[in-house]
Amino acid sequence: MNILAFDTSTSYESIALSSNGQIIADVTTKSKKTHSERLLPTLENLLSQTDMKMEEISAIAVSLGPGSFTGLRIGLSTAKGLCFGLKLPLYVTSTLRSLANNASSVSSNICALMDAGRDEFYYAMYSSDLTEIHKPSFAKIEQIVQIIDTETLLIGPVSLTIKQALSDTDVKLNFARAIDCYPKASSLIDIIENQKGCDVYEADDIAKIEPLYIRKSAAEVNFKLKQ
């Protein structure tokens, strides 16, 4: 089974390719170009470098969000187009589950965090085996910490200032390595291969898949205020 996975939920663009359970290509970039400009060219280059044709791909995987509204739309629409055209199954899971899986070798609970803007974070909590403890939501970091009642690893873009502010909490909080604090396409593949919590849609059913936004965009909020 050859799986092509990509994540465009943040300013990072992560793409990975596996064959028979082994990652054979894994690239993550961050540039000023938009995902719409670089995703397909990077996919084509990755396939070329591995001497694999698109027709040899068995399945596509993509994260549903939360994250950048534009990035999620680009990633999901690209995945849908490829799956529909090639009649491939599409595997999906939340970006927060994929992020938590970057550190799933730990024994404590995991709180995955993503910047949601407005001084808030998207977050979800999982046990060490990725069983969901708290569904994806959003709140300020102080509110998130208040519901943590056991030793927990925080994984995500937590600044040094925030880490210092959380150092006096009653619960032991650990922080993931910086290299693990952004979503990775290889993590999506691992979730699929080890059945850690994803949904699969056949080509005829992919039209029903929607991004996991959690909250309305700033543009939607401003539009409603003007009504």
Domain 2-95+183-226 identical in fold to domain 96-180: yes
* pLDDT tens digits for range 155-164: 999 999 888 8
Domain ranges of the chain: 2-95+183-226, 96-180
Q: How confident is the model at residue 165 (pLDDT cuts 50, 70, 90)?
A: confident
For residue range 43-94, list pLDDT tens digits in order.
999 999 999 999 999 999 999 999 999 999 999 999 999 999 999 999 999 9
Pick among 3.30.420.140, 1.10.3720.10, 3.30.200.20, 3.30.420.40: CATH of 96-180: 3.30.420.40
Helix 35-49 vs helix 69-86: angle between axes, to the nearest 10 degrees? 40
Q: Which residue has better confidence, 225 or 45? A: 45
Give the domain 2-95+183-226 fold. Answer: Nucleotidyltransferase; domain 5 (3.30.420)
> Rounded distance, CA 29 to CA 131, Å?
29
Q: Phi, psi at residue 33, to the nearest 5°?
A: -70, 150
